[in-house]
Amino acid sequence: MIDVEDLVDLVRNYNPNSNADLIRDAYAYGQAMHAGQFRASKEPYFSHPAEVAAILTEQQMDDATIVTALLHDTIEDTKSTYGEVAARFGDEVAQLVDGVTKLTNLELHSSETKQAENFRKLLMAMSKDLRVLLVKLADRLHNMRTIKHLSLEKQQQKARETMDIFAPLAGRMGMQSMREELEDLSFHVLNAEGRNSIIRRFLTLRNQTGDLIPKITNDIREVLEKYGIEAEVFGREKKPYSIWRKMQEKKEGFSRLSDIYGFRIITNDIEDCYRVLGAIHQRWRAVPGRFKDYISQPKSNGYRSIHTTVSGRDGKRVEVQIRTRQMHEVAEAGVAAHWSYKDGQRVENPFAVDPFVWLAGLTERVEQSDDHDEFMEHVKLEMFSDQVFCFTPKGEVVKLPRGATPIDFAFAIHTRIGSSCVGAKVDGIRVPLWTRLRNGQSVDIITAEGQRPQSTWMDIALTGRARSAIRRSLREERRDGAVRLGRELARVAFERAGKRVSDKALATAARQMGIADAGDLLAMLGNAEITGSELIGVLYPELKRVQPDQRVESASAMVGLGAGQTATPAKCCQPVPGERIVGITYRGKGVQVHTIDCASLIEFEDQPDRWIDLHWNDGDHVAEHEVTLEITLANDAGTLGRICTLIGEQNANISDMHFTDRKPDFFKMLVDIQVRDVEHLHNVLTAVEADSDVAEIARYRSSVSMEQ
């Protein structure tokens, strides 16, 4: 455990004006509060808060954050209270400690819905003071460093939570070194063999080629000296998890993987950054498509650097990052650079991003979202994504995640532009909407009045903003269509009952059925969640008792059944009166009735003892025999409602319907109707087929397999 004076010295190294007595007091208070508590490693519990504070000195954090780290578990795990902390250390520290406590109590590993809600709370807690998250990240880093003392199940849970939530958050904040360590520690738990295999391959490579890093570092220094450029050069092997992820993404083996080495060149000013780039490209061949200029187009977390990949010594590909000292400080500390101290003064790093501006960008459009999947999809995308920068025809820059399409670009400009998009031009050339945009491209969105988002756009769009707007539009469109259909079905149901439909009647029915309003009732009716008969039954219960289609047909409708035998129509062929039928017996399950030409009967050709000769009784039958129709009709306004009306006019009840295929011009659907007999079915087919918007209608024969 770090000693209090060592901790004070670490802080004074970057902030000579630090309040050492405050840190000593917090150290003593925390140690006293946690007295008698021990970690799973059997160490005194206070060793953990002390090490968390030490980690935060690496980010050169202010006194309040260091003190918060020392006290971050006191309110939760000891007899200390918020009031006591506030009285002794001030309101600022008390609020930070309370914020960390609330983050600790969030179960981020729970079910997806609960995880989304808790993660939303995490973002809201961060929005008050981002230092809360910095303490929590340091807390998680120390816990991951000492995770071996936990049970295997607990290690797996913590590692997965770290990989899914905390490592991406650290990366999104620009704290790359912390992100890499969190990922690597989690990787060691989740896939120890995979990590060890990467390390073994590095060792093998070193044995074969020697340690290339100092050799390439010297090569770069010689080039810089030749051009008279002053700069520092650092080289390193990429982290095992970074290598593993690239192998999975590119589906390549270690031997075929490029740029497993990374080098950083730290210059005095921006002009030297571009001079270094020219010198590197003159000395080594640049790899096409691997150049990124984050100085002219910085990332939203303030990251600035030039990235290029070249074929270096012995043809080995190496990635080179070029930036100034101030840019490097932001690259290492990320958003935390906002609080950095140097020589006792807050450093005004011109490249550090205001944390509140950064957080507003991260949480944009998600605070009001009530769709948990949408929320997590958007936030995880915001955390994980790299960025491309494209231009509008007027030269304005639009930042998008890598892999974004013109659809995403259009919605990034404005929801109205995205919704009315019908095409796009990239660099003056018309391209499909699924085209993946690249850095520096100019994008011109083509719009048309009356256009609405299409369902196929969900497979094209990548950003949370675009996908959320598309979902919302599709929901509204589906609801509008369902309401129109429901209104038509309600009209038919009321007419069959000899009543007149009205808004007041629908509102009354909605209230009786516990539905919010008449609009929701019609939508449910159109979506076949309720039937017209149920609607009439709620308003006119006396009619429900005498409706002919509500009567149960007697067993005498069928001739040939034995005493006590019950018959059910087969789902595969759906027999109706007027068709030749046969029965198949099932032990303990009665008789299943098929049409004589049903393909399923082939299975029983060698079992004649199970066959029963049946036929329908003479006379009128009740319209309760269900038949499924497959209809292909034009996707035009009013078509679906008109078809439902035609079926209703033939006195056939629609019991269910669902769409099997939707296209911009036609859609295909299955409609379950109830008919009296085969003649009644023929009348329905004829009436619907005569409609000009019906391309095809046929009786649907299911391929449902029979139970033996």
Tokens of 292: 């990124």
60: CB partners within 8 A, 6+ apart? 14, 15, 333, 339, 340, 341, 342, 347
Question: Which residue, chain included where needed, has tokens 């059997």?
Answer: 42
- Do 652 and 675 form a contact (C-beta atoms < 8 A)? yes
Question: Which residue, chain included where needed, has tokens 């038919």?
Answer: 492
- Where in 314-437 does DSSP place strands (E)? 317-324, 341-342, 345-346, 387-391, 397-401, 421-426, 429-431
- Which DSSP helix (H) or strand (E) runs through 465? helix 464-496
Burial class (CB in 10 A: 0-12, 13-18, 19+), 618: exposed
Provide DSSP, 505-550. Answer: HHHHHHHHTT-S-HHHHHHHHHTTSS-HHHHHHHH-HHHHHH-GGG
What residues form DSSP beta bridges with 626? 674
Looking at the annotation, which residues are catalytic? 76-77
Question: Which residue, chain included where needed, has tokens 């729970």?
Answer: 110
* CA atoms 79, 80, 84, 88: torsion sign: positive
- Amino acid residing at 474: L
Distance CA 600, CA 584 (A): 11
- Do 445 and 409 form a contact (C-beta atoms < 8 A)? yes
Distance CA 367, CA 653 (A): 45
Distance CA 15, CA 342 (A): 6
| Helices and strands, number each (H, E), in the chain | 28, 22
